[in-house]
Structures are given as structure tokens and as C-alpha cells.
Structure 1
Amino acid sequence: MNIADEIARLHELHRSGALSDEEFAAAKEKVLASASTSSQASGNENPFSNLNQLRRSKHNQWVGGVCAGLGKYSNLEPWIWRLMFVLFVSAFGTGFIAYLLAWVFIPEEE
């Protein structure tokens, strides 16, 4: 049952006389409070909040550590990212520019 259905049910109970004004207000506050805590717990805050964890690797790097950092961030092996950059360089020519931009703008891990 979603929030609107619960509030509608409470309103029907209040209108029929089963709930007093105070009981209706308290129950409505309880439903709204539980809805706000469940939406915060489900991670509906900021979809880019984990982006600050993206860092270039110092230890597992071939050139600039971008692929190792992307691998750690995305839970993929770094060789997969390296292969994708090589494919983009050979197929579209944009992989080199993307790698350079990532090298410049992604900070190095401490």
C-alpha cells in the first residue's frame, strides 16, 4: 500500500467517525514520517554522491591510473576498461581524448 492509499484510508476512517481529529492528525504524521525515512534509507538522495569516490590509481597504473581507478569504482577489472579505451581509439578515435580528459580531471588517490 502506498502513502496516498494509506492517507485516503485514514481520511475515510476520520470521515466515518472512527478516528477523532487528534487521532487522524497523529496517524497522518506517523505515515508521512515513515515515508520520509524509508525514502532516505532507499538512497533517493543524490545519484551522484558516490562520484566523489572516483580516483586514479597510484599502484595499478600503466599510464595514468585512469583505468585502474575506473575499475575500482565500477567493480570491473581494469583490463576491461583498458580494452574499451583501445577499442574507442581504434574505432572512433575518441578514446585518446577521453583518456586524457579523465587523466586531467579525475584526482589521484591519496
Structure 2
Amino acid sequence: MAINVNIADDIQRLHELHQSGALTDAEFAQAKEKLLGQTGSGASFNQTASSSYARDEDAINQLNRFRRSKGDRWLGGICGGLGKFTGLESWIWRLIFVFFAMCVGTGMLAYLLAWIFVPEEE
């Protein structure tokens, strides 16, 4: 909403300059087109919001495919599942979890939460 108010204010200023003779018709049209082109019209804003929503939905659908591994597991299969999901080797994920468990302390908590909430592959 604030973007539309700023655009309206800027167009009003351009119109006032045009009425006072400071801008020619061509300059006014060019400045108005440039202003609307930079900020985007309502239609292009809606298209951008719609495509952003579609990308978010795709990301959520991909995240829903994440499963704990049955075959590549040491404890709960989280690292094996992350390996399949991301393309990184599962031993790299194991090192990451061990590092965060030793240094920050959150690795064990993250692993346990993932073990609880991530479903096992079928």
C-alpha cells in the first residue's frame, strides 16, 4: 500500500511540473513511464506475487519429500535421508551433526527433532 501512495505522490509531482510548464508532454510521458516501469504496475506486482507463491509451494512440496533412510542409517536415518535429499554424501551430514553437537550443542537437538518429526521412507 505504501508503494502505491509513493507512486501516486510522484505522479502528482510530475503532473504539477507538467502543468507549470517545466516538463514538456514528451518529458512528462517519459518520466511517468520510467516511474511506473521501475516500481511495477499492479498487474506485474500481482504476477510477481503469484510466481513467488508458486515457488514457495514448490519448495514446500520438495521439503515434504524428505524422509529418513532405511538403508543408510547409523541411528535414525536422518543423515542418510539428508544425503539422498541434498545430493551430499551422508558421512558429510554426520560430520556436520557431530560438529554442531560438540561445538554449539544444537546438533543433537536438531537430530532428535528430525528423528521425531521426519517420517521414514517406505
| TM-score normalized by the length of structure 2 | 0.54
Equivalenced residue count is 73
Aligned equivalent of 1:53: 65
Mapped to 2, the partners of 1:89 and 1:60 lie a distance apart of 21
Choose which of 106, 110, 118 in structure 2 pairs with 1:98: 110
Choose which of 75, 79, 98 in structure 1 pairs with 2:87: 75
**Aligned AA (2:55):** N
* Percent of aligned pairs with the same amino acid: 56
Larger radius of gyration: 2
Structure 1 gap segments, 5+ residues each? 1-34
**Aligned AA (1:97):** L
| 1:44 and 2:45 correspond | no
Mapped to 2, the partners of 1:52 and 1:104 lie a distance apart of 15
Residue 63 of structure 1: CA displacement? 0.5
Greater percentage in helix: 2
**Aligned AA (1:67):** C
| TM-score normalized by the length of structure 1 | 0.59
